[in-house]
Amino acid sequence: MKYVMSITAVGALLLATGCEPVQQWNGQTFAEDASQTPDPRTAVYSNPESTNVSPESGLANILVDQFGINSQQAMGGAGSIFALAQQRMNPSDFMQLSGSVPGMNRYLSAVPRPASSSSWLSTSADSTEGESAGLGSLSALTGSFRALGLNTKLINQFVPVVLQYVQTQNGGPAAMSLLQSALY
């Protein structure tokens, strides 16, 4: 009788805690899961560095996974690129670009704020020569990347990833072309 009561108590405890019994692999599990493959443009990856990144932040997830940075650095780096483009684009073109990038406001709000009245998105004259060498028109991003704790050499690696991501979104090649024209 004690044995039956013990098993009943364990069963009740498992039910109360919401535990499910372990299911034996039947060879179908992988096939069932494969049919639910997420859209790579909006997938949230299970990288521990990408916590607090929403599904609309697919670009941040890609940057985190590709460069081994944290989500704040990814959001801020992409946001800095978009902020530079915003400075250089006419408002209607930026609205078109912004409409094609999910979570654009989140990226822009992740751009680090300058400690003084000057902007992190500086001119190339404000950057040290060694850091801005080879960046050309992208040298304006060096202050922002430094503030995020990112190596400024990543700028030339971030931009192609951002451009490719924008091309895969609703605006497609047209939105990517707008961004590319503003950056280079």
**pLDDT band for position 151 (cuts 50, 70, 90):** very high
Neighbour tally for 75: CB within 10 Å:
26
**pLDDT over threshold 60, residue 10:** no
Q: Are 78 and 154 in contact (CB under 8 A)?
A: no
pLDDT digits (tens, 9 = 90+) for 94-144: 999 999 999 999 999 999 987 654 444 544 344 444 444 567 889 999 999
pTM score, two decimals?
0.64
Q: H/E element holding 76?
A: helix 71-88
DSSP-derived 3-state class of residue 102: coil
Between the alpha carbon of residue 45 and those of residues 32, 53, 83, 109, 131, the distances in Å are 19, 9, 25, 22, 32
DSSP-derived 3-state class of residue 129: helix
* Tokens found for residue 14: 């498992």
Nearest CA to 104 out of 62, 173, 162, 45 is that of 162
Check residue 11 and give its pLDDT. 44
